[in-house]
Amino acid sequence: MYDLNKIKPLPEDFKNWIESQLPPEPIFFKNHKGYSDLLCGHCGERSTIYLEDGMEDIFDIPWEKPERNKSAVCPLCNYEGYYEIGQVTAEHRNYEYFVLVQQDTDGNLVSRCFEVLQAWKKGLEANHEVIELERYVQSPGKLIKLRHERNWYSGETYWNELKNGHMSFSQRATLYEEGPGYDFKEEIKTSNLPYYEPNLYFDIFNEWGYESEYAYQVLKSLAIYANAPWSESFAKMGWTNVIKNVMWKDGSTALLNKRGKTLKSQLRLKKGENVRKFQDYMKIKPEKWYRVLEILQLSERRKRSFSQEEFDLLMSLYQIKDADEPLKYMTLTQLVNRLKEYKAQKEKAEKRIYAETTILTEYSDYLKLRRQLGYDMTNEVFIHPKDLHKKHQDLIKEQQMRRDSERAAQMEKQYDGMVKAYEMLCKKYCYEAAGFIIRPAKCPTELIRESQALHHCVGSSDTYMRKHATGTSYILFLRKKETPDVPFTTIEISGVKEKEPRILQWYEAYDKKPDEQILQPIIDKYVEHLKKGTKKPGKRAKAS
């Protein structure tokens, strides 16, 4: 956490400077014969000025007759504004933005971003509310972002250090460049980032189409300069594409090493020949820098060099990451041949065209699943399946089943109250009528199965299991008498807390009720039956 005590006080005339930068406020007028009534929008006070034809004392200097939008001075507070007609009564609110770049006590550069709310209304004193919104602390190789936030309960404000998230400050801001005891250029020269040039990336900004003020460009470029030390030399080499791509992330990218001292280490490469290859590509296809660097890093990670043909193929892929998994088990040529084979297979089966990258994504995901599920990855049958799509689907199912059984085991343990309560609940809730049976759920596993079979939510979260185990509400299964093991309809009924049983919800598959006309009367009768049961005093005494 950044120590806020390192922030220095504001330059002495900074607040006055902000005031001087704000757009003028109005002085309202009403003209009469020989005089005008004024109401100052700045100090909020009323006054009267006398015009030439209303002068009583010929030695007084008459005021000029007020005219809308002409410059005006308040005779009371001497504020210089402009004339506005008295009929204007709407409240006016205007936001202005300012930036101050200042060293902290360690010599690091802090960009301080201010928002000023300028509000005025006829008859009131104008209000200027200055809030410091953001601070960017910049040292070589490091950018700390702080945002001023408010706790809405206590009303306290505090500085929050942002782990990610980029600059949100207004692009329409003004930079404080000089004043007594402060000079922007001197502040930089004597800081820990003395070689920062405000116009280092301006060409890129312009090309990028940033329609921002100088202050915002300084803010952004200083952040990139500090956070991405490689960017300075890259800019000088003309590798502007790289900088453009990381600009929106304020200079952060995992592809480059910001602690690297040499070009090789900045590019996260180990071999000189790969650095040269990258440099060559930057001459012909600078816009592809990201892909080229990804491939070079991949080739070093997988310890193999790619032929030009292989390189070109990788360049055409949508996701280099997808090639990472397959290349653990095969050569690139093998991969290419297999992709062709799977592509032809899938297209034949589904009678439509597929892009190679789609096939690669599936193949990569398939291999990853195989590995994660613990299969022998030296077995050619697993590495190179005959029917990729089917085997992929099988693995997805297998993974789902494993997850389900793990979850079921956990739920059984957690909600063993369900199992314990089953026999007792049976006595009260079991029912049979018109070819249907109703019974409580026996255990969490059963509930999960019911939910999967009928595609509804009772088993997907453990809410219903918890309610069932604690008696808040119970899950009942309504099934056809001749197929008592086949899930059909699921009912949630009120639990021990309610005096009379009440159906909370019931659904057939997919949370629908196609057989409502048949089932609703049965469920109604069932509730009646339960009510009779609860009203019998004798039975109740027995149960307790």
- For Zn ion, the closer of residues 122 and 258 by Cβ is 122
* Distances in whole angstroms, Cα of residue 242 to Cα of each of 274, 279, 291: 17, 12, 11
Q: Please, what is the minimum distance in Å from the beta carbon of residue 80 to Zn ion?
A: 10
Contact between 91 and 106 under an 8 Å Cβ cutoff? The reply is: no
Q: How far apart are CA 152 and CA 4, in angstroms?
A: 22
Of residues 40 and 99, the one with the C-beta less far from Zn ion? 40
Of residues 39 and 101, the one with the C-beta less far from Zn ion: 39
Question: Judged by CB, which is closer to Zn ion: 40, or 247?
Answer: 40
- Residue 74 as a binder of Zn ion (CB under 5 A): the answer is yes
In 225-272, DSSP assigns E strands to none
d(CA 197, CA 215): 13
Determine the interface stretch with Zn ion among 75-83, 238-246, 276-284, 380-388 (rule: CB under 5 A).
75-83
Beta carbon of residue 79, minimum distance to Zn ion (angstroms, whole number): 5
Nearer to Zn ion, 74 or 441 (CB): 74
CB of 216 to Zn ion, least distance (A): 34
* Shortest reach from residue 41's CB to Zn ion, in Å: 8
**Least distance from C-beta 38 to Zn ion, angstroms?**
8
Interaction residues for Zn ion, span 374-403 (CB under 5 A): none
Using rule CB under 5 A, residue 73 touches Zn ion: no
Specify the residue, 42 or 112, whose C-beta has the smaller distance to Zn ion.
42
- Using CB under 5 A, which residues numbered 1 to 60 contact Zn ion? 40, 42-43
Give, in order, the Cα–Cα distances in Å from 415 to each of 287, 412, 477: 57, 5, 18
Q: Is 335 in the site for Zn ion (CB under 5 A)?
A: no
Nearer to Zn ion, 39 or 243 (CB): 39
Shortest gap between Cβ of 46 and Zn ion (angstroms)? 10
Segment lying near Zn ion (by CB under 5 A), choices 48-56, 67-75, 315-323, 380-388: 67-75
Contact 132, 46 (CB under 8 A): no
CB 69 to Zn ion: min, Å? 18
Choices 9-17, 79-87, 291-299, 396-404 (CB under 5 A): range interacting with Zn ion: 79-87
CB closer to Zn ion out of 42 and 467: 42
Helices 240-247 & 230-237 angle (0-180, nearest 10): 140
Q: Return the residues of window 107-166 that contact Zn ion according to CB under 5 A.
A: none
Applying CB under 5 A, the site for Zn ion has a residue count of: 7
Phi-psi group of 151: left, alpha or beta (phi > 0 → left; psi -120 to 50 → alpha; rest → beta): beta
Q: By CB under 5 A, which span of 78-86, 107-115, 232-240, 337-345 interacts with Zn ion?
A: 78-86
Which residue, among 109, 102, 169, 175, has the nearest Cα to 138 in the 3D structure?
A: 109
Would you say 81 or 326 has its CB closer to Zn ion? 81
Q: In what order do the strands lie in the sheet with 473-480?
A: 431-433, 436-440, 473-480, 489-494, 503-507
Q: Render 169-230 in DSSP notation, one character per residue.
A: S-SS-EE--EETTEEHHHHHHTSS-TT--TTTTHHHHHHHT----HHHHHHHHHHHHHH-TH
Query: Measured from the CB of residue 74, what is the shortest distance to Zn ion in angstroms?
Result: 3
Q: Which of residues 269-308 bind Zn ion (CB under 5 A)?
A: none
Q: Compute the least distance from the CB of residue 43 to Zn ion, in Å.
A: 3
d(CA 58, CA 52): 9
Closest distance between Zn ion and the C-beta of residue 82, in Å? 13
DSSP 457: G
The piece of 69-77, 167-175, 385-393, 524-532 that touches Zn ion (CB under 5 A) is 69-77
Q: Tell which residue, 309, 221, 311, 319, has the closest CA to residue 274.
A: 311
Helix spans in 318-430 (H):
320-324, 332-350, 356-372, 380-383, 388-414, 416-429
Question: Could you give the CA distance from residue 357 to residue 361 in angstroms, rounded to a whole number?
Answer: 6
Residues 6+ apart with CB under 8 A from 131: 114, 115, 116, 117, 148
Stretch that binds Zn ion, among 70-78, 81-89, 201-209, 496-504 (CB under 5 A): 70-78
CA-based end-to-end distance of the chain: 61
Compute the distance between CA of residue 361 and CA of residue 292 in angstroms, rounded to an integer: 20
Instruction: State how far the Cα of 274 lies from the Cα of 280, in Å rounded to an integer.
Output: 10
76 binds Zn ion (CB under 5 A): yes
Which stretch, 66-74, 91-99, 133-141, 367-375, contacts Zn ion (CB under 5 A)? 66-74
Give the shortest CB-78-to-Zn ion separation in angstroms: 7
Q: Angle at Cα 367 formed by Cα 365 and Cα 371, nearest 5°? A: 115
Phi, psi of 150 (to 5 degrees): -120, 135
Closest CA to 469 of 510, 423, 523, 415: 415
Closer to Zn ion by CB, 27 or 100: give it: 27
39 vs 173 by CB, closer to Zn ion? 39
Nearer to Zn ion, 36 or 221 (CB): 36
* CB of residue 81 to Zn ion, shortest distance in Å: 8
| Residue 79 binds to Zn ion (criterion: CB under 5 A) | yes
Q: Which CB sits closer to Zn ion, 77 or 315?
A: 77
Shortest distance in whole angstroms from residue 72 CB to Zn ion: 10
Q: Which residues are near Zn ion by CB under 5 A?
A: 40, 42-43, 74, 76-77, 79
